[in-house]
């Protein structure tokens, strides 16, 4: 899942803070090669239980 950031905050900084908190989120902007990068977070969820996803989402909201 991709969560786009439209308020000018750095996805790299938010992803780093999430990683420190144990949340697997990758910055979207470094993945752009041939056009201006967009800010966002790449979030995986397929191998987690609904409760794990809920807990991580609540913690991630603390950064957003």
Q: Which domain holds residue 26?
A: 2-61
Per-residue pLDDT reduced to its tens digit, 17-33: 999 988 889 999 999 99
Per-residue pLDDT reduced to its tens digit, 42-64: 998 888 899 999 998 898 888 78
**Tally of domains within the chain:** 1
38 within 8 A of 2, measured Cβ to Cβ: no
Q: What is the pLDDT of residue 63?
A: 74
Q: What is the CA radius of gyration of the chain?
A: 12
Which helix (H) or strand (E) segment holds residue 43: the answer is strand 40-43
């Amino acid at each position: 899942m991709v969560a786009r950031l439209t308020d000018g905050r750095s996805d790299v900084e938010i992803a780093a803070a999430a990683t420190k908190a144990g949340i697997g989120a990758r910055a979207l902007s470094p993945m752009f090669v041939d056009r201006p990068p967009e800010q966002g977070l790449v979030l995986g969820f397929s191998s987690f239980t609904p409760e794990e996803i809920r807990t991580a989402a609540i913690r991630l909201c603390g950064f957003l």
